[in-house]
A and B are shown apart, each in its own frame.
Chain A
Amino acid sequence: MKYVDEFRDGQLAKGIATAIARAARPERSYRLMEFCGGHTHAISRYGIADLLPANVEMIHGPGCPVCVLPIGRVDQAIRLALEHGVILCTYADMLRVPASDNLSLLKAKAQGGDIRMVYSTSDALNIARKHPDRQVVFLAIGFETTTPPTAVAIQVARAEGLRNFSVLCNHVLTPSAMHAILAVEGGVKLDGFVGPAHVSTVIGSDPYAVFARDYAKPVVIAGFEPLDVMQAILMLIRQINDGRSEIENEFTRAVTPEGNRKAQALVAEIFALRDSFEWRGLGSVPNSALCLAEAYAEFDAERRFACDYVAVPDNRACECAAILRGEKRPQECKIFGTVCTPENPIGSCMVSSEGACAAHYTYGRFRESA
């Protein structure tokens, strides 16, 4: 696969690994957070930790939209399917997330809920067209990469007068989450960020400037492939050594400073900023999520259906909050790997394959067992 295979080359990886080992000063440690769940997955799946010196530690951040979605939001989707009889369309990632009453979307489907997995919002629109007599709700999740497709769907629904289509909107924003992590009093000590790949193709590299400025933390935007991640780590180490805190772009083949203006404009038209939104693990974060703009209220499932959000606290033994903020590692959670496993996930970090706990359990738990 072009533009994929070349960026996974083992020989080149060795070269970058050697450069990292040379650059990392032995007298200090480097704590770097990779924000994006896709990067967490890549790091675990390729065993990148084995290629880094011991004093370079990767902290897994909350950039996994499945992981940060509160239980109460999944409950809303389930209620729409089971109590309101809608056709609930969702990306596959959400199907196994545990919600209240021992349910998940998959279990609700087994109970008779009409819950359908879609790969794209276009599929959800097709379902709405095919079933004009049924209400079709699309469960919208994701950071800025996934928001434009939802915007397009709403625009198309309006143009076609698809009155039976609506969206349960849970889109969240990356820079706000990064603020929330950095602003935590006495929070996790971080030396730099590996910035998300595809979110940045949409929002551009400009929005990260504020982190370098206000928090004096370097950010290197990294592509999706393992070599990209390693190169970004090298660039971060060099910045830290030099005492610089700049925004650098490693993913120049796809990220520009201004990003995708067309997508941004569409999102700005269709969506509005929520005053605040509850994030699993981070609590209430201001200006961090989107809802449908007033002009598109007719497509807002939260307004169309009597289905209010009810906050549900996490299991008390669950350390997801601390793990999502990078304060604890999965292994430090008392129920990790015993009660809480990918088969029986208690918290959000274990549910998505990109969650820190799931990634560590699935790909890396042999490291502790040696």
Chain B
Amino acid sequence: MSQVKSGYARPLDLKNGRVDLAHGSGGRAMAQLIAELFAAAFANDYLGQGNDGALLPAASGKLVMATDAHVVSPLFFPGGDIGCLSVHGTINDLAVMGARPLWLAASFILEEGFPLADLQRIVASMAEAARAAGVPIVTGDTKVVEQGKGDGVFITTTGIGVQREGIEVGGDRARPGDVILLSGSLGDHGMAIMSKRENLDFSAPIVSDTAALHGMIDSLLDAVPTVRVMRDPTRGGLATTLNEIAGQSGVGMMLDEAAIPVKPAVEAACELLGLDPLYVANEGKLIVICAPTDAERALAALRAHPLGKESCIVGEVIDDAHRFVQMRTALGGRRMVDWLTGEQLPRIC
């Protein structure tokens, strides 16, 4: 009779296995899930410490912290997935504050029955995104909820960065006369998501623009440290972000419709569904507001970076007590670009 191997544990069935309640219970099953799936993929010394929290080196400079929950559905979409989205999203939140992102934490809420193969794909994607960005995932958490109480997986990422010396940016710093720049085409992410949703299925060459922007922002700040506002137009699109800034800064804005880049397929998809690209989410675009004397250099710095090749000037900040964001239409008329009302639902009528 052969001796039972000591310390043998059957490896996770990553091909056909599913998340079950034991994986969240804090016992062996959870430890195995963490070790074989998460830690193996994220692989860094901090995680390797194996404690409840990651011990990080002292940082010099003002700390910036940001957090984001990700509940996107579907989980996998053209150009990305919930995993890389969650890494990029928090990196971008830090970067637009003028901070260099240093570390990420990731917490997962898994639904009982979620296929481990899908989880592995997501985790691999997160690991790759973190590695490419140079920002490790140093600590995390996992919980499992009963089937029916979660949409497959929800991911929350939190990040810490250090603000660059001498950089002062904020939503309240826009001034009349300032120039508004946009780093590329609008609506790619939102329409890529729409293209996969049930009831609104169409095969279209639209790919999410999800990307980490900190590299491009670094080059921008190297060239123009006096940038006044930076923000990434995610949920609610360009319109919502500009309205927020207009409100915070107590200014108005005038956009030029002809200058705003929208890919033809995105425009067509929006047209089909009665959506306005100005309100559709982006996950790899940057809005920059700077003094007019800085605009040329800022534009050049953005365009020099692979993520900002299509950067352009889309409008200007104006004096307006009502804090309206307006737009000169392609036809030569004027309209408001108001706050988004509720959820952007497709129209038929």
Contact = CB atoms under 8 A, between A and B. Distances in A.
Contacts of B329: 45-47
A14 B329 CA distance: 12
Interface string B326-346: 100111111110100110011
A65 B334 contact: no
A228 to B, nearest CB: 12
Contacts of B334: 47, 50, 366
Interface string A52-74: 00000000000011100000000
B199 A342 contact: no
B338 A363 contact: yes
A353 B271 contact: no
Nearest to A4: B271
A106 to B, nearest CB: 8
Residue from A1, A47, A48, A119 having most chain B Cβ neighbours under 10 A: A47
A366 B326 contact: yes
Interface in A318-367: 341-343, 352-354, 361-366
Contact of B331 (A47, A66, A361, A364): A47
Nearest to A43: B333
A102 B35 CA distance: 51
Given A96-B342, A142-B349, A146-B349, A50 B264 contact: no
Interface in A252-285: none
A108 interface: no
B213 to A, nearest CB: 30
Contacts of A92: 345-348
Contacts of A152: none
A123 B199 contact: yes
A1 B335 contact: no
B294 interface: no
B267 interface: yes
Interface in A67-102: 91-93, 95-96
Given A47-B335, A363-B335, A369-B322, A1 B349 contact: no
Contacts of A195: none
A141 B331 contact: no
A8 B332 contact: no
A10 B338 contact: no
Contact of A66 (B326, B336, B349): B349
B277 to A, nearest CB: 12
A343 B349 contact: no
B31 interface: no
Interface string B173-217: 000000000000000000000000001100000000000000000
B268 interface: yes
A223 interface: no
Contact of B200 (A4, A66, A119): A119
Interface in A206-254: 226
Q: How large is the interface on A (under 10, 10 to 19, 20 to 34, 35 or more residues)?
A: 35 or more
A367 B205 CA distance: 39
A354 B349 contact: yes
A47 B333 contact: yes
A118 interface: yes
Contacts, number: 99
A37 interface: yes
B42 interface: no
Contacts of B345: 92-93, 95-96, 117
A311 to B, nearest CB: 23
Given A92-B348, A343-B341, A362 B333 contact: no
A13 interface: yes
Interface residues of B, number: 27
Given A64-B349, A119-B346, A362-B336, A1 B331 contact: no
Contact of B330 (A10, A93, A366): A10
B348 A93 contact: yes
A116 interface: yes
A49 interface: yes
A37 B349 contact: yes
B191 to A, nearest CB: 14
A4 B278 CA distance: 19
A123 B345 CA distance: 16
B38 interface: no
Contacts of A51: 331-333
Contact of A343 (B268, B342, B347): B342
A223 to B, nearest CB: 15
A44 interface: yes
Contacts of B347: 92-93, 353-354
Contacts of B330: 8, 10, 46
Contacts of B267: 1
Contacts of B336: 362-366
Given A64-B349, A362-B341, A1 B268 contact: yes
Nearest to A361: B338
Interface in B221-279: 258, 264, 267-268, 271, 273
A49 B341 contact: no
Nearest to A96: B342
Nearest to A118: B199
Interface string B152-191: 0000000000000000000000000000000000000000
Contact of B349 (A91, A116, A123): A91
Contacts of B264: 1
Given A44-B335, A362-B341, 18 more contacts: A4-B271, A10-B331, A46-B329, A46-B333, A50-B332, A51-B333, A64-B349, A91-B348, A92-B345, A93-B349, A96-B342, A117-B345, A117-B346, A142-B348, A362-B338, A366-B334, A366-B336, A369-B322
The 7 closest A-B pairs by CB, nearest first: A47-B333, A342-B341, A50-B333, A92-B345, A363-B335, A47-B334, A46-B331
Interface of A: 1, 4, 8, 10, 13-14, 17, 37-38, 44-51, 64-66, 91-93, 95-96, 116-119, 123, 141-142, 146, 226, 341-343, 352-354, 361-366, 369
9 contacts: A10-B331, A13-B332, A47-B333, A92-B347, A96-B345, A117-B199, A119-B348, A362-B336, A366-B334
